[in-house]
Structure 1
Amino acid sequence: MPRFMNRSKGSDLRMRAIHFTFRAALVTGGLLVGLMFPSFLLWAAEPAPAAPSPTDRRQGLTLIEAVAQALERNLDISVSRQNKNIRLTDIIFEQAKFDPTVSANGQYGRQVSPLNRPVFGLSGAALSDIQKFDQNNSQLTLDMTQNLLTGANYDINFAPQRTFVAGPTTFLFNPSWSSGLAVTLTQPLLRNFGVEVNRTFIQIAQNNVKLEEQILRDRILTVVAAVEQAYWELVFAYENLKVAQAALKAAEELLASNRAKAKAGVMSIVDVLQAEAAVASRVEQVLIAEKAIGDQQDQFRRLLNPAEEELRAETRIVPLDPPAKTLEAISLTEAIDTAIARRPEILQAGKNIDTSQLNVQFAKNQMLPNLSFQGTGGMAGLGNDVGNTLSRNFGGDYYNYGAGLVLSYPLGNRSAVSQYNKRQLEAKNAVSTLQNVRQQVIVGVKEAVRRVQTDFKRIETTRSARIMAEKQLQAERERLNVGLSTTRFVLDFQRDLATAQGNELRATVDYNKSLSNLTRTTGTTLEKYRIELQQS
């Protein structure tokens, strides 16, 4: 025994298993087990140490807390949220195409050029003298243009100008002020005519935002379902360890009893060796169960997306919620109707149909001839100062206007026709996709409901089997005490009880996982946890 005193608990268990396995046929193996038995029994009797070391850190966690952590930290969900924000910018981009554009242009110019003629009104000048023409121009041009939802485009242009010619001139005003106001309107009459056609890409952008919302919803459902499944598997791992420890304790108690009887001469050494071999086997099961807890904890912790230092830590996550064992009332018809109304995949498919119909209508419009009405109108003014010029400009005495039609049409129009055919095929595919998704959802809900019902029946069946196994073991122990049975039979019934307990535990955990799957299948996870998504 002294050579094992400094070993860790895990190493101690492994060494015991080795000795029990390879020395089960030797009496000295039985003596070694007898020396090691007291400390081992104390460990096996309690699932958790009475005085944990400072490094044995535990974190109790409810299912709701686990879901909240996963939703807050999950990277896929974070990406989906950002994708939705990106789609929101697409709406603004499409709407901005109908914003007015304003421009201003200021210019100054001077022209000094020779005149190949006398300046009229200049007396005493010789014909051979070269006169200069010196003109200064200052101009400001203001312009505003905008695309309208009807498909029209207008342009308003206002351009005041000041002109000054140095020296004598024949101009009426020097300096002179002139201004012009011009309005141009272009309105498509066939192709690109109407509000619905010109709002197509705004509506598509809005549909894409709705799609991203459903993608986000789907990812939340997926993450929550994965956390629930892993949580119940962690519950199973802990409970399975208790089953293994209970089986080990029962085997050790039988070993102690057999040793006492062998010492009293009423039992053979073979019964002692059989009990020792059983203890070794039970030690192995405890080690396997301990490892399963560690593995499942790492998988569960990974779903919570912790920081790397948290992932490196050896903190034991202890699930606090017990598994449900009562049957929930389920209506198959209501479950199917709920799934069809709430499943993100169906809502996505519906939005895809809306988008495809918008594309079909737009492509159909693009096959029309390009016939546009164009109208122009303007007013002008002239004076020796700004006030006179503007007064004459808007007085309506000097004006111009015009109107016309412009028609263009590509011969054959193959590009527009092929695009229209393409959009029609895409629309048919969208409808088929929705039908396919609905069928998959209906089948999935029916399978999920059957799974819940079956797993609950498994709980009842395995519970009955476990109760029978307990009674059989108790009866066989009583037979052994009066010499009517053997150690082998008792060990077999102990193993049967452990198997029955494990089966009941597995059925219970599977039932809870099935409930989680049903919630995921019907799309009611958000309502279950009262999760609200911000709608656009």
Structure 2
Amino acid sequence: MFRATRLLLPDLLDLREEQAFMKNLLPLLAKHGAIVILTAALPVLAGAAPKPSGPPVKNLIFEHPRGPSSAPKVTGAHLKLSLREAITLALARNFEIAIEAHNPRIRQNEVTEEKSAFDPAVRAGADAKKSRADTPSRLFAGGGQQVVSEQILSAGIVKKTVTGAELSLIFKTIRENSNSRQKFINPDFDSSLTFTISQPLLKNYGVDVNKAGIRIAAVAFDQSLLAYRGKVISVIERVELAYWDLVFAISNTAFRKKSLDLARDLLRRNRIQVEVGTLAPIEILEAQAAVATREEDLIVAERTLKDREDVLKKLLNVSGSLSSWRLRISPADRPVFKPVKIDEMASALRALKTRADLESARLEIEKNKIRLKRDRRNLLPDLDLSASASNQGVNDSFSNSIDRQSGNKGYSFSGGLSFRLPFGNREAKARVGKSRVQLQQANATYAQLEQSIIEEVRRSVRRVRTDIKRIQASRLARRLAEDRLDGQEKKYQVGLSTSRDVLEDQERVANALTNEVQALVDYNKSLAQLGRVSYSTLQRFKIQMGDPLKGDRSAKP
């Protein structure tokens, strides 16, 4: 079960606010760790590593969200988060992930849109017309004028096939009334059922041409899934980097406070010694200058701390309102130095095999091949075969005309060919040229990306190895600086050293502590970057991504 420890000040959060906060936040982190709401910042770089407050974290099956969940209501509290919990929050609430999650749904609808070209459609119409024309014939009632009125009703089904053929089956009935004395039936009803086919034989013929749009849309859908996966990994990496940057900012602020306290203590001691006459007054000025400088350093460190905290808040999207930006985030994890053996070749091969951007580039080549194949086919001229067959029936009523039509009392057949070829055929040739160049460009992009991935992996591995050496060197430098300061303090107490010497060694210790923590943080950040470029981030955090869409995205119409 999920465990949480809450230490709340009554004047900061009343019981109702606490319950609302926990109600909104706990479901996001259930079974993935513990949240501790604190009223004071806890040091994250001193003491033993915190013990887990719950059962081991199991694999996080990340379901693609349709949008960020509701923001927790927090007022003036400190939220203590482990790195795992921060990543869990980001996966559930990050806006970039939520925005990217819409693209597969958009692309899926584009696949359906392309498939709809082969959907059968119902066609129906109704027309009425009347004409009156002068004629020299006396065969018309009313003198030399011919009067004809018609009412036409039609309905049927039309469909396009994957070979490019257009099929139609249309039923039509015409009611005609005329003043002609030669008409034996007036008004008469003419009913017919006509089947028509128009099949391209050269241009626009074949499955490859007519299903090209569906196949391109299906590939684009797969690319959107890869882009989504890449976005998730990118956000996880950025959360890691922001988390460790915040850890360093907190540590650096603590070091600057300690350095300022030491300078103030030295100033106090100098004033006492000047008063008793054992120290020159100039030593007070030295100490005052050091205090002023370190106050400035602390101000800058506190500003940087707030900046780093806001970066993490934005990634986690834990602030739902302006007031909730006051939430303070306290990292629960410390940067740990666990030397890892990295196989550069294996990392590069894994990246080349699994990187989403490289797979997307390969799919882009596939899309351009589909376009080129379609455009090459359409270099051919238009040659269309058309044929139709119909039966007809005419009688004095609609029902009687249907009887005659269904009895095949009258029928007709027709067929023909049509040919068209533009002079120069420049449009089709230009499309082929464009598709060919785009394919060449896609191949070059793929090769360039392969090269970039190998370079990124090599650089990331090199950075990890360098940071390991930096940690070892910075630890030695910190110990030596502390020993030097200890000796300088003893010399100062017996009058063998000056305030300037002590202040300089204090600054060396503060810088050495900062450098050591910076090396530890950089090492963990380098591991995060290596995870992204080698595509091992999800494996490191045991995150399983499910398919956000269950719908059909195949190329079959």
User: TM-score per shorter chain, which class?
Assistant: 0.7 to 0.9
CA distance in 2, matches of 1:284, 1:418: 66
Other-structure match for 1:510: 522
CA distance in 2, matches of 1:140, 1:56: 75
8 Å contact kept, 2:313–2:319: no
CA distance in 1, matches of 2:384, 2:495: 110
Task: Work out which of the residue numbers 184, 191, 204 in structure 2 matches 1:192.
Answer: 204
Matched, 1:91 2:105: no
Q: Which amino acid aligns with 1:439?
A: Q
CA distance in 2, matches of 1:284, 1:138: 93
Superposition TM-score, scaled by structure 2 size: 0.73
Other-structure match for 2:548: 534
Shift of 1:276: 5.7
Shift of 1:517: 1.4
Superposition TM-score, scaled by structure 1 size: 0.76
In the TM superposition, 1:129-140 aligns within 5 A as 138-140=151-153
Other-structure match for 1:324: 336
Matched, 1:100 2:120: yes
Q: Which amino acid aligns with 1:454?
A: T
Change (3 A) 1:399 1:500: same
Task: Work out which of the residue numbers 137, 150, 169 in structure 2 matches 1:156.
Answer: 169
Flag the structure with larger Rg.
Answer: 1
Q: Which amino acid aligns with 1:285?
A: D
Shift of 1:182: 1.4
In the TM superposition, 1:89-488 aligns within 5 A as 89-107=109-127, 117=138, 138-162=151-175, 171=184, 176-252=188-264, 278-304=290-316, 309-310=321-322, 313-383=325-395, 388-480=400-492, 488=500
CA distance in 2, matches of 1:47, 1:511: 20
CA distance in 2, matches of 1:262, 1:105: 109
8 Å contact kept, 2:208–2:373: no
Change (3 A) 1:109 1:485: closer
CA distance in 2, matches of 1:317, 1:266: 48
Structure in which a larger fraction of residues adopt helix: 1
* Deviates further, 194-203 or 310-319: 310-319
SS in 1 for 2:393: strand
CA distance in 1, matches of 2:187, 2:202: 49
8 Å contact kept, 2:75–2:324: no
Q: Which amino acid aligns with 1:427?
A: L
Other-structure match for 1:19: none
Q: Which amino acid aligns with 1:148?
A: T
CA distance in 1, matches of 2:372, 2:486: 76
CA distance in 1, matches of 2:300, 2:99: 38
Q: Which amino acid aligns with 1:374?
A: S
CA distance in 2, matches of 1:316, 1:463: 30
Summarize deviations over 1:204-228 as a string: whole Å, max 9, x none: 2222233333344444444433333
Shift of 1:335: 1.6
Summarize deviations over 1:2-58 as a string: whole Å, max 9, x none: xxxxxxxxxxxxxxxxxxxxxxxxxxxxxxxxxxxxxxxxxxxx989xxxxx99653
SS in 1 for 2:322: helix
Shift of 1:152: 0.6
Task: Work out which of the residue numbers 48, 55, 58 in structure 1 matches 2:78.
Answer: 58
Change (3 A) 1:259 1:186: same
Summarize deviations over 1:336-382 as a string: whole Å, max 9, x none: 12222333321221121111111111111011122222212111224
CA distance in 1, matches of 2:193, 2:310: 76
8 Å contact kept, 1:342–1:524: no
Change (3 A) 1:392 1:58: same
8 Å contact kept, 1:47–1:245: no
Shift of 1:165: 7.4
Q: Which amino acid aligns with 1:495?
A: E
Change (3 A) 1:474 1:102: same
* Deviates further, 416-425 or 108-117: 108-117
Q: CA RMSD in A?
A: 3.9
Shift of 1:251: 4.3
Shift of 1:144: 2.4
Shift of 1:515: 1.5
Q: Which amino acid aligns with 1:434?
A: Y
* Deviates further, 469-478 or 269-278: 269-278
8 Å contact kept, 2:319–2:325: no
CA distance in 2, matches of 1:286, 1:131: 110
CA distance in 2, matches of 1:162, 1:141: 12
Change (3 A) 1:181 1:253: same
Change (3 A) 1:483 1:355: same
CA distance in 2, matches of 1:192, 1:72: 47
Note the residue ranges of structure 1 that are not aligned, 5 or more in a row. Answer: 1-45, 49-53, 120-127
8 Å contact kept, 1:301–1:311: no
* Deviates further, 236-245 or 468-477: 468-477
SS in 2 for 1:149: coil
* Deviates further, 437-446 or 493-502: 493-502
In the TM superposition, 1:481-496 aligns within 5 A as 488-496=500-508
Give the share of equivalent positions with the same residue, in percent. 31
Shift of 1:457: 1.7
Note the residue ranges of structure 2 that are not aligned, 5 or more in a row. Answer: 1-41, 45-73
